[in-house]
């Protein structure tokens, strides 16, 4: 079922989760061990992130360093099929522009269509470790909106090869990313919203947001989206702080603010357990407030810490 239909039919707030593929070399069972306890919350869908290959410099027997491509967490598409098969819930693969030509994107979408995967989160992806800025693949998409357009075209039966006649129309429900505190590369919040609208006008069906720790930022973002004519569902992305060091690492990695109250409470924590507990409590209170505001779905970034997320959801539903 499409995410948009799930949200439309929902009579109460749903919870959904984002998971990461296991590290290369680990079994699918390690992922099921994370998912099994989450199933008691009846998530209607599970997002599976996509991890582009990166380059490392490896010391070779010759004594020289060689640049080697590694992908630490492969398997997004296979994992989605496994989740749908085992749990009978929708799995949403993340698909990124980075590293894909448009032909490879089309092939990936055809594969997903064959597997019965109806929902896809269309993303641009980030710059690789050794690149200053995001660089599109030669013959690949530069922005997520370009991938949205390609998916939208396939939904109309228009594939890249114009000579294919009577092509099957796919029926993808297309999710896109939104940033309540602005994407870090955008020249302004307003400009970022304009580009978000471009993704929706091009065929995006719903938005999932970057994490935030201040609900006001999310609620203002929703209001601003509505004001510029974005009418699709907006799903808040939530992640608990797990340790004090994230007071600096999260803002510098994701360019989002930590509220002063959360910062000062975290500074007072004397043990790792206390830091974790504060993160849990803050996220519970954020979730409860969003629930009260009538948000149809709360989306949790598990970062493979299922215990913490379970404790939060138990206290929210
Ligand atoms: P875009 O929408 O393309 O925007 C990128 C930047 O370009 C923005 O600053 C935007 O304002 C600007 N822009 C957009 N269109 C134009 C235009 N036409 N002209 C000029 N500027 C423009 N990354 C992964 O690698 N794997 C994942 O699984 C993954 N999952 C994610 C899930 C969520 C919910 C979120 C919020 C992010 C996720 N990311 C993931 C990170 C994401 O790839 C990065 O945030 C990336 O930097 C931007 O992706 P985007 O799809 O928002 O890009």
Residue with the smallest CA separation from ligand 1 atom 20 is 195
Work out whether the CA dihedral 124, 306, 42, 278 comes out positive or negative: negative
Q: 83 CA distance to ligand 1 centroid (A)?
A: 25
Give the total number of structural domains in the chain.
1
pLDDT given at position 15? 97
Residue with the smallest CA separation from ligand 1 atom 24 is 125
pLDDT given at position 106? 98
Is residue 53 lining ligand 1, measured as CB closer than 6 Å?
Answer: no
- pTM, to two decimals: 0.97
pLDDT given at position 194? 98
pLDDT given at position 140? 98
Is residue 128 lining ligand 1, measured as CB closer than 6 Å?
Answer: no
Q: How far apart, in whole angstroms, are the C-alpha atoms of residue 154 and residue 170?
A: 6
Question: Which contiguous run of DSSP H or E holds residue 258?
Answer: none
Residue 208: both structure tokens together: 């999932």
Q: 96 CA distance to ligand 1 centroid (A)?
A: 9
In 138-232, which residue ranges form alpha helices assigned H by DSSP? 144-155, 189-201, 215-227
pLDDT given at position 254? 87
Query: Is beta strand 65-70 parallel, antiparallel or unpaired with respect to 45-48?
Result: unpaired
Q: To test ligand 1's pocket by mutation, which of 119, 124, 150, 201 has the most ligand atoms within 8 angstroms of CB?
A: 124
pLDDT given at position 57? 82
At 28-43, the pLDDT tens digits run 999 999 999 999 999 9
Average pLDDT, the chain: 95
CATH number of the structural domain spanning residue 61: 3.20.20.220
pLDDT given at position 41? 97
Name the residue with tokens 């357990």: 273
Is residue 237 lining ligand 1, measured as CB closer than 6 Å?
Answer: yes
Is residue 206 lining ligand 1, measured as CB closer than 6 Å?
Answer: no
Work out whether the CA dihedral 308, 313, 314, 316 comes out positive or negative: positive
Q: How big, in percent rounded to 5, are the helix, strand and coil portions of the chain? A: 45, 20, 40
pLDDT given at position 157? 96
- In this prediction, the residues of the chain whose per-residue pLDDT falls under 70 are none
The residue range of the domain holding 98 is 3-314
Is residue 34 lining ligand 1, measured as CB closer than 6 Å?
Answer: no
Is residue 197 lining ligand 1, measured as CB closer than 6 Å?
Answer: no
Is residue 126 lining ligand 1, measured as CB closer than 6 Å?
Answer: yes
Residue 247 burial (C-beta neighbours within 10 Å; 0-12, 13-18, 19+): middle
Q: Which of 155, 208, 280, 287 is nearest to 48 (CA)?
A: 208
First to last CA, the chain: 23
At 70-83, the pLDDT tens digits run 889 999 999 999 99
pLDDT given at position 73? 94
Q: How many CA atoms lie within 13 Å of 243's alpha carbon, on the beta-carbon side? A: 5
Cα 193–chain centre separation = 18
Neighbours of 98 (CB within 10 A): 20
pLDDT given at position 174? 98
Q: How far apart, in whole angstroms, are the C-alpha atoms of residue 199 and residue 50?
A: 19
Atom of ligand 1 nearest to the CA of 196: 2
pLDDT given at position 65? 87
Q: Which of 151, 156, 161, 198 is nearest to 177 (CA)?
A: 198
Residue with the smallest CA separation from ligand 1 atom 51 is 123
């Amino acid at each position: 079922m499409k995410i948009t239909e799930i949200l439309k039919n929902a009579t109460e707030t749903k919870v959904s989760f984002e998971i990461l593929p296991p590290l290369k070399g680990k079994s699918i069972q390690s992922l099921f061990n994370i998912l099994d306890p989450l199933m008691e919350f009846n998530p209607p869908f599970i997002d599976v992130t996509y991890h582009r290959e990166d380059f490392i410099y490896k010391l070779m027997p010759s004594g020289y360093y060689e640049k080697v491509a590694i992908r630490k967490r492969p398997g997004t598409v296979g994992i989605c099929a496994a989740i749908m098969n085992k749990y009978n819930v929708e799995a949403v693969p993340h698909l990124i522009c980075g590293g894909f030509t448009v032909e490879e994107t089309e092939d990936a979408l055809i594969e997903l269509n064959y597997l019965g995967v109806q929902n896809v989160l269309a993303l641009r992806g980030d710059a690789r470790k050794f690149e200053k800025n995001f660089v599109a693949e030669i013959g690949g998409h530069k922005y997520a909106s370009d991938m949205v357009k390609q998916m939208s075209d396939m939904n109309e039966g228009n594939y890249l090869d114009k000579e294919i006649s009577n092509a099957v129309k796919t029926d993808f429900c297309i999710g896109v990313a939104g940033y309540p505190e602005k994407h870090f590369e955008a020249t302004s919040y307003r400009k970022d919203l304009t580009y978000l609208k471009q993704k929706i006008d091009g065929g995006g069906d719903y938005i999932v947001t970057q994490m935030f720790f201040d609900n006001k930022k999310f609620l203002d973002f929703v209001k601003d989206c509505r004001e510029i004519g974005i009418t699709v569902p907006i799903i808040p992305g939530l992640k608990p702080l797990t340790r004090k060091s994230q007071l600096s690492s999260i803002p510098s990695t994701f360019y989002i603010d930590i509220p002063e109250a959360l910062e000062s409470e975290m500074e007072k924590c004397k043990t790792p357990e206390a830091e974790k507990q504060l993160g849990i409590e803050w996220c519970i209170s954020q979730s409860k407030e969003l629930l009260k505001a009538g948000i149809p779905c709360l989306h949790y970034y598990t970062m493979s810490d299922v215990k913490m997320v379970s404790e939060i959801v138990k206290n929210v539903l």
